[in-house]
Structure 1
Amino acid sequence: MTLTTPPRTRQLPHVSEAGRSTIYPGKAELLNALPAELTKFNPYKAWGSLVMSASLSIAAVCVGTSIPLTLAALPLWILYGAVTGTIAMGCWVLAHECGHNAFHPNRRVEGVVGFVLHSALLVPYYSWARSHAVHHAHCNHLEGGETHVPPRESSPQGQATEKLKRKLNTRLFGLISLFNHLIIGWQLYLFLGATGGEDYGFPTSHFWNDAPFRNGKRALFPSSFRKYMVRSNLGLIAMMTLLIGASIHFSFARIACLYGLPYIVINIWLTSYTWLQHTDRNIPHFSNETWDWAKGALQTVDRPYGPVLNFLHHGIGSTHVCHHINSAIPHYNAWRGTVILRQRFPDLVRYDSTPIHRALWRVATACGGAVYQNPSDRAFYY
């Protein structure tokens, strides 16, 4: 199901905190707006999506094996990396769905699918599923949030970022922001917890949950989670061993091109999606005093990725508000959930019709710094 006539871009007005209590629904009302039947699994659609994404990814890699390792073939390798990475992002999305228990009713089967898919893409499956669950539980929460949490202007990081922003022109700052997010942001997040919430301290790591990665008021990964972290790491070790063996057998250059180029593109898609889903000039971030779950969940943005990307990536960028309201809804039911939410809460469900490349540049140039508190509603904005 697709949305043929999406609503125009909406910007929530700045209102007093007293007014916000009448605008925002409670958590129960928000959850009850989506029928329970939307969480029902359809095995044909679920497995069909997996077969489609996996088979297209394998086919693309097979095509790549015929590209010669010559300088003249560089344009072909660039095209290969862009196409294969874009296709394989669908596998990433389905592994993400497994982490939400939205792929299969059997948790063991679901865990195996998610673990294999994410390990193949060098993602620590269980560790990331844990941090991502924290992100969903505390969306747009400055203290308890996780991923794409901006620094406050009053913090040392915020002051340093704002100082840099004032020194650079807008174009240069935007280019640096794009590089930091799209090229190295994913690795910085996994290894150091970059853009994590204030409560968890810095650094945090998806690979080890003890010193020196345990400095916050509360642990992102509690001690009891260690065994799942080890399982995640073993999956990565197995995949890295496979890549090293293939490099020895075929050549490092061949595997670097076949695997490395799509890997970069996948990570660009991942960070682009998450950045644009939770960041823009008019999206508020809340502190402990004003945050609640419904407010946070509704600060997510649906954007127009078009029929091809929505097909390949299972609608992850165009149905994300519904996903944050109820992450147990499978992707094939999220389209209907999106329609229902827009009809039920027309002034609260965010949709931005700005073309993706323009929205990405706007966010990179306008939202790469710290957030300032607005006295009228006690929320924080860029």
Structure 2
Amino acid sequence: MASWVLSECGLRPLPRIYARPSSGIASLTPYTSRISRFQSDPLRVKPIGSRERKRGIKVSTPLKLQSVGEEEEREGEGVNGDGGEIGGEFDPGLPPPFKLADVRAAIPKHCWVKDPWRSMSYVVRDVAVVFGLAAGAAYLNNWVVWPLYWAAQGTMFWALFVLGHDCGHGSFSNHHKLNSVVGHLLHSSILVPYHGWRISHRTHHQNHGHVENDESWHPLSEKIYKSLDTVTRKLRFTLPFPMLAYPIYLWSRSPGKTGSHYNPNSDLFVPKESKDVITSTVCWSTMAALLVGLAFVMGPVHLLKLYIIPYWIFVMWLDLVTYLHHHGHENKLPWYRGEEWSYLRGGLTTLDRDYGWINNIHHDIGTHVIHHLFPQIPHYHLIEATEAAKPVLGKYYREPKKSWPLPFHLLGSLIRSMKQDHYVSDTGDVVYYQTDPRLYGSPKAE
């Protein structure tokens, strides 16, 4: 099978950050510029295996940058203290004029408080809606209702995933056992291995914005991109195929990486995590067996209508939302390697998105920048925390475009990004997505 798998959500434990094979995507028209060498911030997390950065590294970028000079500048001050400004023009690839601690200090203390009763109320609400929708659709059982049911139930499956995602981060409650039990029930019900995904997703948060080490929709390097066969490239960047990738990613990850979220011996995990991974795989298998049993009881067609189609709608939501967290902005955003990467700079390349009516249904997961920097904050405090942090973030925060009741406007961002964002350069510590003009038969082929 062509290895067209797209990175989705994934992580690994904080003490274990390994260098990964390059897999990337850069800018439309590469320019080169010289980047000053910056000293490490005390809050910077440096991935193991990052290569030594050299002065004057060439950077693939769509922005027209001036030479910054060779003087060393401390991250947190930016160039000549301007923080992301070159000749009055904002450059998102430069270190910000603030620290992670500055952003943290701006967020009200109560935003960090986790209320398990409030969190459980969302679980009760969502589960009640899921069973109510299924019962109503089964009772009415007509072809006017089924398409509406599929869209609504698939969205509710996605809402269940987000609550399980909060359990994985520990933002659901301060009680580890409660988080684990609720997380397993929610994720297993929609065929997600809770611990396997939780661990790989933590790796994503600890390496966001890093070309090789990120685990969620990370770029393909030019070398890996060109090694893919034509069919694989087409599948990866032609809708709707990329929006169906998550189950395949869980089994085999993405091009340039190996491992499975179900295998305790996968290089996604350390030996002490084997028991957790086995537990989640057993729970996943139990749910899969239950579905097989239901197919015999109610018939495969009825199971298809009640569960399978909503499941694929959920997968499309997951891939859409997670992709747009990191892609599709009107201006190109950087990806990092080596010493140019830091936890803060990587997190600042994520994007907030407005989903209209869906914001409340999927627990404001579109409020993503602050969630990426501080995943411990409960979802019901993310909007307030973001508003408080905006004055500190300045231009590094990109205000999301307001949505109509349903977020159809985001389809344009998705389509544009799929046509333009294909790979990143194999070299350079600050890189941007580049376009393969041959992918869609353009006459501008190289």
* Aligned residue in 1 for 2:127: 54
1:45 and 1:332 in contact (8 A); partners too: no
Judging changes above 3 Å, is the alpha-carbon distance between structure 1 residues 14 and 204 closer, same or farther for their aligned structure 2 residues? farther
Counterpart of 2:425 in structure 1: which amino acid? Y
Judging changes above 3 Å, is the alpha-carbon distance between structure 1 residues 194 and 175 closer, same or farther for their aligned structure 2 residues? closer
Offset at residue 256 of structure 1 (A)? 1.6
Pairing 1:315–2:364 present: yes
* Aligned residue in 1 for 2:136: 63
1:303 and 1:352 in contact (8 A); partners too: yes
Runs of 4+ in 1 over 4 A off after TM superposition: 11-20, 173-176
Judging changes above 3 Å, is the alpha-carbon distance between structure 1 residues 228 and 174 closer, same or farther for their aligned structure 2 residues? closer
For 1:285, which of 312, 335, 345 is the aligned residue?
335
Cα distance in 1 for residues equivalent to 2:259 and 2:427? 30
CA RMSD of aligned residues (A): 2.7
For 1:127, which of 196, 201, 206 is the aligned residue?
196
Deviations 1:256-275 (A, max 9, x none): 21110110011111111100
In structure 2, list runs of 5 or more residues that go unmatched. 1-61, 84-95, 403-408, 435-446
| SS, match of residue 376 in structure 2 | coil
Deviations 1:23-68 (A, max 9, x none): 3233333333333321102344322221221111111111121244
Taking the TM superposition and a 5 Å limit, the aligned residue runs for 1:361-372 are 361-367=415-421, 369-372=422-425
1:159 and 1:370 in contact (8 A); partners too: no
* Aligned residue in 2 for 1:202: 257
2:251 and 2:260 in contact (8 A); partners too: yes
Count residues in correspondence: 343
For 1:35, which of 98, 108, 113 is the aligned residue?
108
* Aligned residue in 1 for 2:431: 379
Deviations 1:107-140 (A, max 9, x none): 1112111110000010000010000000000001
TM-score of the pair, normalised by structure 2: 0.71
Cα distance in 2 for residues equivalent to 1:85 and 1:13? 43
Taking the TM superposition and a 5 Å limit, the aligned residue runs for 1:90-239 are 90-153=159-222, 155=223, 157-160=224-227, 164=230, 176-183=237-244, 185-194=245-254, 202-210=257-265, 213=266, 219-239=267-287
Deviations 1:331-381 (A, max 9, x none): 1100101101212212111233172121111122112x1113796x73333
Judging changes above 3 Å, is the alpha-carbon distance between structure 1 residues 278 and 224 closer, same or farther for their aligned structure 2 residues? same
Offset at residue 100 of structure 1 (A)? 0.5
* Aligned residue in 2 for 1:262: 310
Taking the TM superposition and a 5 Å limit, the aligned residue runs for 1:233-248 are 233-248=281-296
TM-score of the pair, normalised by structure 1: 0.82
Cα distance in 1 for residues equivalent to 2:364 and 2:64? 28
Pairing 1:356–2:419 present: no
More helix by share: 1
Counterpart of 2:250 in structure 1: which amino acid? L
State, as a whole percentage, how many aligned pairs show the same letter.
27
